[in-house]
Amino acid sequence: MVKTALLALCAITLAAGPASAGDLKDVQSRGTLIVGSKADYKPFGFRDPSGAIVGIEPDLAADIAKQLGVKLEIVPVVAANRMEFLKQGKIDLLIATMSDKPERRKVVEAIDPPYYSDSVNVLLSNRAKVSSWEELKDKPVCATIGSFYNKSVAEKYGAKIVGFDGSDKPLFALQQGNCIGYLYDQTFIQGKLLDPAWSKDYSMPLKGIMETPWIMAVAPGNDALRDFVSKATIQWMKDGTIVKEETKWGIKPTDYSQRMHDKYKG
């Protein structure tokens, strides 16, 4: 299990101008692993009261850094810029709730096996009284720009997608009544509903759809770092690290996490 203490052992900084990212040898020579992570996606990556980015994915990043014997630097990313940061060399490794899609594998070097998998759902205002996906037809639904499922939900169910950067802006728009719900990853919504301030007036009545694996990624050609992280991922699945991280941060373990643990532990 990735210990909470890892975040204290690894120096996590938010420098405005990080050192130039590179391959595995560069990381070891530099003595710092630069990882792109969400800062607005509880419990996978979010800011604690001190401003530090914490959560499931920073914990995983800390474990990779520990295995490499280097410090950790977290660079906050959002869906709209995360792959660009990797391509531009601003980060070495991307661990930022990124769904596995063919077009993304053409841009970045995906790390297999996928470390996670999630479904799509909607955080709905209780006043909306929506009980099926079909009832989203012609209704405004907030969403995060860059999420692959926005177009599919709009086309299949007729929802009027209203896009925003990150997750804070669409949540604020939802609270302001600009939309009836927030289309996003189911695990994020589960995490949000752990907060009484949200669970009082919002819920997740729909069944999750479009289960899709999440991938970590490195820049194309960065084979050594890719292979290192791939081996670490398999070890996480073998020893149940992902399942333990979900439990630690208040998320019900997904079927995928449990399936992969069962597959590798034997």
Q: What is the CATH number of the domain that holds 135?
A: 3.40.190.10
pLDDT tens per residue, range 117-163:
999 999 999 999 999 999 999 999 999 998 889 999 999 999 999 99
Q: Which of 188, 210, 232 is the last residue of a domain?
A: 210
For the entire predicted model, the pTM comes to 0.77
Domain-terminating residue out of 186, 210, 234: 210
What is the average pLDDT score of the chain?
90
**124 and 226 both lie in a single domain:** no
- Give the single-character DSSP code of 195: S
Tell whether 143 and 239 lie within a shared domain.
no
Same domain (yes/no): 196, 222: no
Phi-psi region of 138 (alpha: psi -120 to 50; beta: other; left: phi over 0): left
Residue 226 structure tokens: 């890719």
Q: Given this model, what pLDDT does residue 11 score?
A: 42
Tell me the pLDDT tens digit for each residue of 35-51.
999 998 889 999 999 99
Pairing of strands 140-144, 181-185: parallel
For residues 101 and 217, membership in a common domain is answered with yes
Q: Is 22 helix (H, G, I), strand (E, B) or coil?
A: coil
112 and 223 share one domain: yes
The whole-number pLDDT of residue 266 equals: 72
- Asked if residue 237 lies in contact with residue 260, where contact means CB atoms within 8 angstroms, the answer is yes
Which tops the pLDDT comparison, 7 or 120? 120
Q: Same structural domain for residues 75 and 200?
A: no
Q: Are residues 203 and 123 in the same domain?
A: yes
Q: Which of 7-21, 69-83, 186-200, 233-247 has the lowest mean pLDDT?
A: 7-21
> What domain count does the chain have?
2
Is pLDDT at 85 greater than 90 in this prediction?
yes
Let me know whether 174 and 202 are in one domain. yes
Confidence of residue 21 (pLDDT cuts 50, 70, 90): low
* Length reported for the chain: 266
Instruction: Provide the pLDDT for residue 42.
Output: 87
3-state DSSP of 123-151? EEEHHHCCCCHHHHCCCEEEEECCCCHHH
Statement to judge: residues 195 and 256 lie in one domain = no
Of 210, 225, 250, the one marking the end of a domain is 210
Q: How far apart are CA 260 and CA 243, in angstroms?
A: 10
Strands 140-144 and 160-164: parallel
Same-domain status, 127 and 201: yes
Scanning 206-250, the segments in alpha helix (DSSP H) are 223-239, 241-248
The angle, 0 to 180 degrees and rounded to 10, between the axes of the packed helices 56-68 and 241-248 is 140
- Each as own residue / partner, the long-range contacts of residues 160-169 (CB below 8 Å, 24 or more positions apart, any chain) are 165/78, 165/80, 166/40, 166/78, 166/79, 167/38, 167/40, 167/41, 168/40
Return the axis-axis angle of helices 255-265 and 241-248, rounded to nearest 10°: 150
Say what percent of the chain tops pLDDT 70.
92
**What's the pLDDT at 10?**
46
Does 79 lie in the same domain as 45?
A: yes
Q: Are strands 109-125 and 160-164 parallel, antiparallel or unpaired?
A: unpaired
Sheet holding 45-47, edge to edge: 40-41, 45-47, 53-54
Q: Are residues 229 and 99 in the same domain?
A: yes
Name the residue range of residue 183's domain: 119-210
Q: Is 169 a residue whose pLDDT tops 50? A: yes
